[in-house]
Structure 1
Amino acid sequence: MRNAGLGSWPHRRARMAPTREAFTYNGVATSYAEVALRTTRLAWQLRELGVRHGDRVAYLGPNHPSFAETMFAAHQLGAIFVPLNFRLTPAEINYQLADCGAHVLVHAASHVVEHPRAVSLDVYEDWLLGGSSEVLDEPVGVDDIALILYTSGTTGRPKGATLSHANLLWNTFNLMIGVDVASDDVALVTAPLFHVAALSQTLLPTFIKGGHSVITSGWDVAECVSLIEKHRVTWMFGVSTMFADLAASSLWSGADLSSLRVLLCGGAAVPDSVIHTYQDRGLVFCQGYGLTETAPGATFLEAADSVDRAGSAGTCVFFGDLRLGDGGEIEVQGPNVTPGYWNDPVASAAAFTEDGWFRTGDVGRIDSGHLYVLDRLKDMYISGGENVYPAEVENAITSHPDVVEVAVVGVPDARWGEVGRAFVRARDGAVVDAAALREFLGSRLAKYKIPVHVEVVDELPRTGSGKVLKPALRRLPL
């Protein structure tokens, strides 16, 4: 095949195991042969809408098999897939659609955004059936861009991290080496697929091996337990909050989790208590470290070390390298690392050292080859597995007519890991009400970005050069 990218995967897998179940969603199973046929029909329909090599195809909505089908179909044409965070506000989504220049938008009926070539899932099935079943084989190289994934920018505007087909392929290899993914594995895909972790750490490795992905539209503890028991799920990925919710549920003690071979956790620091809760039950609980820009795996804690090295992010992935730079900053190099940001050469250049290592902005230490993530050089914090950049939140808050200045920091939270704490300075003579401010932000920011704590202050601590001293703010008691 001339297509060396992900678009060829459905046909390659279908010719090896056509009748094997690829996806199950809401009790409906789709075989690999059916996935190959459906993605081919969809590719022809995208082509009818004018999609060509390098064009962008966006997807907006909760987890659904159509997410994977749209991605594979776009890749059959050599197009770039842009999964959008359905938790964002319309204004945030519109910015990303405009920035990437999306030629087509496939969206859930519950997420309506104006676009000249929008296809709702309400008509998706009929639309798909109108496509040809003739196999497309467009030339696609592994170095072609496969994905644009938006990550909030430190300047207040999201940046589109690009990942090539090669980045995703090498990450898949690294994951399969670390987890020993098998063709009879059953993955529970319940974390949002617009995040690279759910996509690259569960769905893609399971698919390439011919395993079975059980997809849910969102996270629900009762549904999770039911699906694990029904489908004999062998592995899953989740963020710390998800695993903490499951362990705290009344279903925990009676749930049949005997089929689970390994649990993967990432996206935020995991409390030791959560790790030990799972290990005490005899479950293998493994952590990893990475970023959107590393597709995402940079390190992984393999099962053999998961008890002795609990709390560690593991060792560097097989096909990759890691070092500590100035100030202990974690730097990564390898075939899984992004070539740069979409239409942003300045940010792309700033992300790499002079000798070509990706600068993560995180600080760590290495003990016997195992990475421990200590802190972040950047101000970004992680709330419920979602990256939040204070500059973006501060921009939104200062758009309020009564706010003259604000500083936002992340503070510990028992449920979400971290949440925002905003220190607001009001304009002279104005009164800022915390509840009213949060309501004001509701149409401007996704809910997880809105600070939980809002405090009105007379002044902000500053350095001699006039910069706000955020470390001093973080140390203030709640």
Structure 2
Amino acid sequence: MHQQGIGTWLAKRRLRSPDKAVLICDGRSDLTYRQLADGADRVSTMLGDRGIRRGDAVAYLGENSPEFLQVMFGAAKLGAVFVPVNTRLAPPEIAHVLADSGTRLLIHDPEFAERVSIAGTAARIPHVIVTGDGTTAGPGLDRLLSTTAAADRFDVEVTLGDPAAILYTSGTTGRAKGAVLTHENLTWVALNCIVDYDVVSTDVALMISPLFHVASLGMGALPVILKGATLVLERGFEPGRALAQIERHGVTMLSGVPTTYQLMAEHPNWAATDLSTLAKLTCGGSPVPPRVLNAYEKRGLSFSQGYGMTETSPGATSLPPTMTRSKQGSVGLPHFFTDVRVTDGDGAVVPHGHVGEIEIAGPNVFPGYHGLPDATAAAFRADGWFRSGDLGHLDPDGYLYVSGRIKDMIISGGENIYPAEVELLLSEIDGVTGVAVIGVPDERWGEVPWAIMTVRHGASVDTGTVQDHLDGKLARYKLPRNVVIVDELPRTASGKLRKAELRDRFGASARTEP
């Protein structure tokens, strides 16, 4: 049988760089490519012995660890489908993921046993295994693998078009949908990263984000492993510890979201930490605020910013560090093997500078949602382009600017207001740590913009501050009519703002505002 999928990667790396460290995990010995490949082979045998076959779903609920990667690659070798489960989900949400994906075997960390006892029962999973040595209920993953010999008893043909993973979208409305990512999708997103972020075999990448997120997996771990570089694998993010790890291990690559970078820059150890090895910083989720750009540029560091989603594995565009200032607010050019266009409501491409729906094509774009043919059909144009549901425009140089979700666009007195444009300017205000611009009902204008913000302790920000800052930078109708300071902005497990929740919360109160 012939295998083309990601399940072959570790075996090939074992031949090319067997003694090179692939994983550095504090408290554990560094793992070489040979050891990681051997572990994945034992996982594959163990799964096969339990009846897991091509197309079966294998779920993993746990923090970043070597076992996460061993299970993913071991499942891929069998042609099984890997289902990484968000560790922040509640039992009913876990139950939905396990049941919807048809999970036949679940591996989880011990600390999630209580949640699994509810979710696992609901999903009727045939096999449940705990990481570590195990419990009185049965042997753990470590003991099982220590008594399993790597074998190729389950020789399976795997093509690039076969499903490799199902990753569940954040579910800002309704239940989360499972995006099916093929071996081809994961291969090409890794190649895009290698080309556009210049990943090399000598890189040391600090992994501070959870691997169950598609960005950490598809644009973090996979390109590093494909290129034969090294991952410093963290179970979670703590800014002081992240700074220490950069200095200790000579980290060259770091990925995160604006908040993580801001927290590191505000940490007491920021100025004293040696960051001289850092060369490649990538950031997604939202534009990097100017104050964060300034903090890193003072240390000689610049960002690659980007745009994407689970359905694009996830990278769609990237903005090179050299263009951070000249194209501020842009999410960059399409990745090397990806195409982006902007269309009107009928699917016709609009001229540069005109706002429309962002659409994406390329080998990194998923084939559809698991078990949801109607949702899949609605997500694609007849010519095969994926409809992102996001608004944006391309400038004359082909750089993409995102305006926000279609459903988040505000229509005030017949004029369109794109929240992302306002939010970027508001993030410049000193003391603002988070901002969401939403539309709330208004008897005269239909709806008007409000700014919902979080601010640094001791900072003073109000409607006057906001309107003064925006005066002359935006049309008057785009200025927030009200500013509300909250302790925390509601977000999904992947960090996306839950604007629907904010609209529900503040929409009724808007009717009583003067």
What is the TM-score with the length of structure 2 in the denominator? 0.75
1:174-227 CA distance string (max 9 Å, x none) = 111111111110000111111110111111111011101010000011211111
Q: Which runs of 4+ in 1 moved over 6 A?
A: 445-457
Q: How does 1:142-153 map to 2 (within 5 A)?
A: 142-153=160-171
The CA deviation at 1:155 is 4.8
1:138-176 CA distance string (max 9 Å, x none) = 210000011101013465111001110001111111111
Contact 1:87 1:447 in 2 (8 A): no
- Tell me which moved more, 446-455 or 158-167: 446-455
RMSD: 2.9
User: Separation in 2 of the partners of 1:333 and 1:252?
Assistant: 40
Name the SS of the counterpart of 2:59 in structure 1.
strand
Residue in 1 that maps onto 2:404 = 375
User: Separation in 1 of the partners of 2:189 and 2:408?
Assistant: 27
The CA deviation at 1:378 is 3.1
The CA deviation at 1:307 is 3.9
Change (3 A) 1:120 1:369: same
Residue in 2 that maps onto 1:405 = none
1:425-470 CA distance string (max 9 Å, x none) = xxxxxxxxxxxxx9xx9xxx9797899979878x849xxxxxxxxx
Residue in 1 that maps onto 2:9 = 9
> What amino acid maps onto 2:285 in structure 1?
G
The CA deviation at 1:280 is 2.4
Q: How does 1:37-436 map to 2 (within 5 A)?
A: 37-112=38-113, 113-114=116-117, 115=120, 116-122=126-132, 123-135=140-152, 137-153=155-171, 155-326=173-344, 328-367=356-395, 368-379=397-408, 411-414=452-455
Question: Is there any run of 5+ residues in structure 1 with no aligned partner, and where?
Answer: 383-387, 391-408, 416-437, 462-471
User: Separation in 2 of the partners of 1:131 and 1:4?
Assistant: 25
Change (3 A) 1:145 1:374: same
Name the SS of the counterpart of 1:252 in structure 2.
coil
> What amino acid maps onto 2:179 in structure 1?
A
User: Separation in 2 of the partners of 1:272 and 1:446?
Assistant: 25
- Tell me which moved more, 268-277 or 94-103: 268-277
% identity of equivalent residues: 42
Contact 1:100 1:342 in 2 (8 A): yes
1:95-120 CA distance string (max 9 Å, x none) = 11001010111111111203341111
Contact 1:21 1:31 in 2 (8 A): yes
User: Separation in 1 of the partners of 2:505 and 2:452?
Assistant: 17
The number of residues matched between the two structures is: 414
Residue in 1 that maps onto 2:471 = none
Residue in 1 that maps onto 2:476 = none
What is the TM-score with the length of structure 1 in the denominator? 0.81
> What amino acid maps onto 2:17 in structure 1?
A
Name the SS of the counterpart of 2:218 in structure 1.
helix
Which structure has more relative contact order (CA 8 Å, sep 6+)? It is 1
User: Separation in 1 of the partners of 2:324 and 2:144?
Assistant: 47
User: Separation in 1 of the partners of 2:275 and 2:148?
Assistant: 42
> What amino acid maps onto 1:188 in structure 2?
L
Name the SS of the counterpart of 2:158 in structure 1.
coil
Name the SS of the counterpart of 1:300 in structure 2.
strand
User: Separation in 1 of the partners of 2:219 and 2:273?
Assistant: 25
1:45-79 CA distance string (max 9 Å, x none) = 11112110000000101111111111000001000
> What amino acid maps onto 1:127 in structure 2?
L
User: Separation in 1 of the partners of 2:193 and 2:451?
Assistant: 30
Larger radius of gyration: 2
